[in-house]
């Protein structure tokens, strides 16, 4: 085995319907997680493995969307997502925290930021769905999020169109342990 081989766990967190499952499916090259326009399709943590024979393995943990729970099922799903924050080597929003492109940081995003401040794990912010906005606006969105949390990396991407996903994988490997 390569002594430079890395391996670790990466959680994908974010609000409902930001593209967490779509991102994971595209990163591993297979449809493992259900994707839907309907919020809360992912109800339990889903694990899958990405293997690069030269660099290592990434175990992705796709989680339910973090939201204000209105019932017991919602509370359970949020609890599942938030508990993964302390069990992983990297947090991917989505591996880190996944957000949609916007200058507005709502209450849901603020709640996630507060949860992230409690962990020492590197957080990579993925600004997903950048194919839906003008390119010049992306720099503004990056600047907006850079001001609210010290992210290890901020990567604009499109999970649906598979744009910039190689960069996402490279950044994950950068933070995984040997």
pLDDT tens-digit series, residues 19-73: 777 887 888 887 765 555 554 544 456 678 899 999 999 988 777 666 455 556 5
- pTM comes to 0.77
In the prediction, which pLDDT does 13 show? Answer: 78
Tell me what the mean pLDDT of segment 5-9 comes to.
91
Indicate the pLDDT class of residue 155, thresholds 50, 70 and 90: very high
Burial 120-154 (b: 16+ CB within 10 A, else e): ebbbbbbbbbbeebeeeeeeebbebbeeebebebb
């Amino acid at each position: 085995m390569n002594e430079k081989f890395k391996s670790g766990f990466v959680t994908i967190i974010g609000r409902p319907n930001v593209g967490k499952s779509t991102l994971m499916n595209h990163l591993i090259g297979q449809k493992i997680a259900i994707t839907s326009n309907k919020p809360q399709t992912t109800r339990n943590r889903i694990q899958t493995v990405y293997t690069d024979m030269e660099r290592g393995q990434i175990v992705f943990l796709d989680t339910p969307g973090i939201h204000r729970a209105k019932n017991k099922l919602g509370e359970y799903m949020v609890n599942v997502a938030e508990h993964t924050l302390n069990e992983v080597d990297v947090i991917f929003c989505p591996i880190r925290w996944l957000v949609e492109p916007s200058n507005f940081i709502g209450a849901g995003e603020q709640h996630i930021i507060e949860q992230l401040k409690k962990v020492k794990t590197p957080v990579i912010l993925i600004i997903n769905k950048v194919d839906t906005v003008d390119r010049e606006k992306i720099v503004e969105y990056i600047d907006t999020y850079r001001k609210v949390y010290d992210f290890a990396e901020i990567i604009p991407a499109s999970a649906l169109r598979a744009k910039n996903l190689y960069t996402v994988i490279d950044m994950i490997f950068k933070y995984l342990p040997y």
